[in-house]
Amino acid sequence: MVSFVDKQTVILVGCPTLMIPLLEEGKDVILLDIDERFFGIFPSKNFRKFNLVNCYFFDGNELDKERFPSDSVVIMDPPFGVMNEICVRTMRLLAPQGRHILLKPYFEIRWLEGLLGFKMLDYRVDYESHRKMNRNKTVRIFVNTDQIIPLPSPEYKYCDICDKFVHDTQFHCAFCGACGDISGRGIIHCKKCNICHVKSHVFCSKCTVCKPVGHDCADTARCFICKKPGHKESDCKLENKKIKFN
């Protein structure tokens, strides 16, 4: 993570374990977190109690813009339940022209890339304190730049076709023309539905797409969005009613 920081000033939102490595690199760092126990760990110049949901500083003072200018790097590791729009809004308020590094599950790619202009790196975040939790298998890094960011070898490699760094186990599909294994579970290309899918899935003639073995078919399953049977989420009429983010 430290290698992604290309500026001298860094704002951490909920990433306390990055404080010491960044300070050792000579960076000027401040941690913004709602956990007040950090007052007993870090000096006041490096920690402030902060609520990322409403971008509120509990001491009533705004961030020092001379010390942390608008092009500072912001790294945020929010709880899974915090909405993407809120995370992005807070990062933009803290550093409008800065590099924004957001740690979120890979299944948020549809919203973060499609609606909020972020790009997902194939970097798989590892947590020391969550060794036995699925968080280690799901979290990726999203950035607000199209710049190619090198990932460390030998765990990662460069794909000449996609022009980006990917995980060493990544599969580049000649049919789809992309490295499409975003979950890290291993994928194969199905010529029947003409897309790549997880290796454990099989083609279902009723759903006309590859699905897990023993799944409920589209004609009997309920839509996760409107809770009505007979159609998939992608065909739901409510799906088009999205909240616009400014």
Q: Is residue 106 part of a domain?
A: yes
pLDDT at 246: 43
Instruction: Tell whether 120 and 7 lie within a shared domain.
Output: yes
- Number of helices and strands in the chain (H, E): 4, 16
State the average pLDDT over residues 155-177: 90
Lowest pLDDT segment from 1-10, 111-120, 164-173: 1-10
- How does residue 136 score in pLDDT terms, banded at 50, 70 and 90? low
State the average pLDDT over residues 192-198: 85
State the average pLDDT over residues 60-78: 93
Residue 149 scores a pLDDT above 80 = yes
Q: Which domain holds residue 175?
A: 159-237
- As beta bridge partners, residue 203 has 210
Instruction: Tell whether 112 and 166 lie within a shared domain.
Output: no
Instruction: Tell whether 37 and 94 lie within a shared domain.
Output: yes
If you ran DSSP here, which 8-state letter would residue 244 be given?
Answer: P
Q: HSE-up of 137 (CA within 13 Å, CB side)?
A: 7
Instruction: Tell whether 93 and 192 lie within a shared domain.
Output: no
- How does residue 232 score in pLDDT terms, banded at 50, 70 and 90? low
Query: Cα(123)–Cα(165) distance, rounded to whole angstroms?
Result: 9
State the average pLDDT over residues 128-147: 74
Please state, as a whole number, how many other Cβ atoms lie within 10 Å of the Cβ of residue 20: 11
The domain spanning residue 117 has which CATH number?
3.40.50.150
Percent of the chain residues past pLDDT 90, beyond the cut: 45
Reading the block at residue 121, the tokens are 């790196």
Query: Cα(198)–Cα(65) distance, rounded to whole angstroms?
Result: 47
Count of structural domains, the chain:
2
Assign 135 to helix, strand or coil: helix
pLDDT at 245: 41
- How does residue 185 score in pLDDT terms, banded at 50, 70 and 90? confident
Instruction: Tell whether 196 and 86 lie within a shared domain.
Output: no
pLDDT at 133: 52
If you ran DSSP here, which 8-state letter would residue 215 be given?
Answer: P
Residue 87 scores a pLDDT above 60 = yes
Q: Which of 149, 171, 202 is the last residue of a domain?
A: 149
Q: Is residue 154 part of a domain?
A: no
Q: Is residue 244 part of a domain?
A: no
- How does residue 240 score in pLDDT terms, banded at 50, 70 and 90? low
Instruction: Tell whether 178 and 75 lie within a shared domain.
Output: no
Instruction: Tell whether 196 and 77 lie within a shared domain.
Output: no
Residue 127 scores a pLDDT above 90 = no
Residue 243 scores a pLDDT above 50 = no
DSSP 56-88: EETTS----TTTS-TT-EEEE---TTS-HHHHH
Expressed in angstroms, the distance from the first to the final Cα of the chain is: 28
**Whether the bond into 154 is cis, omega within 30 of 0:** yes
Question: Strand pairing of 73-76 and 56-57?
Answer: unpaired
pLDDT at 69: 93
